[in-house]
Amino acid sequence: TRHDLSKYKKVSIQKAFLEGGNPNLWDFYWMYQLQQEAPRPKRIICPREVENRPKYYGREFHGIISREQADEILAGVEGAYILRESQRQPGCYTLALRFGNQTLNYRLFYDGKHFVGEKRFESIHDLVTDGLITLYIETKASEYISKMTTNPIYEHIGYATLLREKVSRRLSRTKNESRKASVTSEENTPVEKITSLVRRAALTQNDNHFNYEKAHNFKVHTFRGPHWCEYCANFMWGLIAQGVRCSDCGLNVHKQCSKYVPNDCQPDLKRIKRVYCCDLTTLVKAHNTQRPMVVDSCIREIEARGLKSEGLYRVSGFTEHIEDVKMAFDRDGDKADISASIYPDINIITGALKLYFRDLPIPVITYDTYSKFIDAAKISNPDERLEAIHEVLMLLPAAHYETLRYLMIHLKKVTLHEKENFMNAENLGIVFGPTLMRPPEDSTLATLNDMRYQKLIVQILIENEDVLF
């Protein structure tokens, strides 16, 4: 029976997997064993010389032959395969493969790699191996697979309790120490080994973290050695591209399971290499802060020594010095030293803050909401316009909203010193409009037309910062 573990004792499973503690261990072994049992590919070589054989195919290519002839060559052997050229459409190639006592024919493609579906393979042998595993598992476990996602382990993990304290300690340390220091000290501790699943379980218990939603950043991944899905706890089968991995937190799941995973990605600092050019929500979640720490640091510095500086935010600082601040943040995180002793010119700091906003892959005012903001700005009745802006603000992701709110409170303070710095809400709108919002499509014409509305949005937000509360 499928729950007889003794049968599979010899199966060598990666150490990390066993340490991870899979709650569906029995089903995992069962599916793993199915993969081991899948028919192996048997290449049937063409005995004669074949003309016009594409150079990327080997002697398993039999030239132009009919389905019936292919069927005969395969002789009912499970896993046997040949390649043939279509009689009706020369130049089209077919993989004929025996599985489940029938000959299956797949249209075969090549673009530097071989494929019949989504997965791309280096060799025909790999493609057939993976195909046979998939066919075998989907045949033997079809009912099980269809139910796999209905009882996920994802929401109720009880085995993380022991690690919880360690992780909370790690998180609070991350908050108070430099990014560099926390990464180094982590490297030799057992905490390093915990899975993203355990990390998340710990986080849901942690009061320190800000409850921003963040979608996972799943990319197709080829796993070395047996891996289990951290959503359904089942084996991830196949030769390559067995599942997807989140590049921000390292969560590993089946592709079909990825659709069900909630937007609760908790990025791992080790995977987040930079501060600039990093997605805003990803950055604040990785650093466990309310807002990007660049924003807090720069604003703190500007309010401490720059509010009366003439042309604040309008005057630009030396580009090299601004790049230097950017590098310092990327390298040292919130420990970056931007004090007057190193950067006496406050315009370097304002420049670094503006650059941070410009470098965001998704602007503070997101691409999704851009046109709604522009439409709201076009309303001529001021009360209706404010109401419309208020409604669109509610559509911003929470971390973006919070960052915008904080910046507007700061810019309001800047305008209170207009007598000294000559900056009012309109001037600041000209500077920050295009910095905080960019049209989703890069069209020079649209940008030119929208500029006055971009300015107006920022101006209105500064003048009515209470709309952001």
Taking CB under 5 A as the rule, does residue 257 contact Zn ion? yes
Cβ closest to Zn ion, residue 232 vs residue 272: 232
Q: Which is nearer to Zn ion, 44 or 246 (CB)?
A: 246
Q: Which one, 108 or 171, has the nearer CB to Zn ion?
A: 171
Among the residue ranges 244-252, 304-312, 382-390, 450-458, the one whose residues contact Zn ion (CB under 5 A): 244-252
- Which residues, numbered 96-155, are part of the site for Zn ion (CB under 5 A)? none
Min dist. Cβ of residue 200 to Zn ion (A): 9
Report, in Å, the least distance between residue 2 CB and Zn ion: 17
Query: Whose Cβ is closer to Zn ion: residue 35's or residue 94's?
Result: 35
Is 368:395 a contact under the CB 8 Å cutoff?
yes
Candidate residues 30, 99, 231, 343; the one interacting with Zn ion per rule CB under 5 A: 231
Q: Of the candidates 203, 246, 294, 336, which one interacts with Zn ion according to CB under 5 A?
A: 246
Phi and psi based region of residue 333 (left: phi greater than 0; alpha: psi -120 to 50; beta: remaining): left
| Piece in contact with Zn ion (CB under 5 A), picked from 61-69, 97-105, 238-246, 302-310 | 238-246
Nearer Cβ to Zn ion (216/227): 216
Contact status, residue 154 vs residue 197, Cβ threshold 8 Å: yes
The CB-of-261 to Zn ion minimum distance in angstroms stands at 8
Measured between alpha carbons, how far is 465 from 457 in angstroms, rounded to an integer? 11
Return the bridge partners of 365, or none. 437
The structure tokens 């069209």 sit at 443
232 binds Zn ion (CB under 5 A): yes
Q: By CB under 5 A, is residue 377 in contact with Zn ion?
A: no
> How far apart (Å, rounded) are the C-alpha atoms in residues 306 and 350?
9
DSSP per-residue letters across 187-239? TTSGGGG--HHHHHHHHHT-TTS----B---EEEEPPSS--B-TTT--B--SS
Least CB distance from residue 257 to Zn ion, whole Å? 3
Candidates 133, 171, 249, 353; binder of Zn ion (CB under 5 A) is 249
254 binds Zn ion (CB under 5 A): yes
Q: Pick from 190, 261, 204, 202: which is nearest to 230 by CA?
A: 261
What is the C-alpha R_g of the chain? 29
Instruction: Tell whether residue 248 is a contact of Zn ion (CB under 5 A).
Output: yes
**Contacts (CB under 5 A) with Zn ion, residues 199-218:** 216
Residue 454, CB-side half-sphere exposure with 13 Å CA sphere = 21
> Judged by CB under 5 A, which stretch of 16-24, 48-56, 263-271, 368-376 contacts Zn ion?
263-271
Q: Which of 229, 299, 365, 457 binds Zn ion (CB under 5 A)?
A: 229
DSSP for residue 307 = T
265 binds Zn ion (CB under 5 A): yes
CB of 214 to Zn ion, least distance (A): 7
Enclosing H/E stretch for 281: helix 280-287
CB distance 299 to 289 below 8 Å: no
> Measured from the CB of residue 148, what is the shortest distance to Zn ion in angstroms?
6
The C-alpha atoms of residue 234 and residue 23 are separated, in whole angstroms, by 9
180 closest CA partner among 336, 369, 3 = 336
Tokens of 229: 């899905």
Residue ranges that bind Zn ion, judged by CB under 5 A = 216, 229, 231-232, 246, 248-249, 251, 254, 257, 265
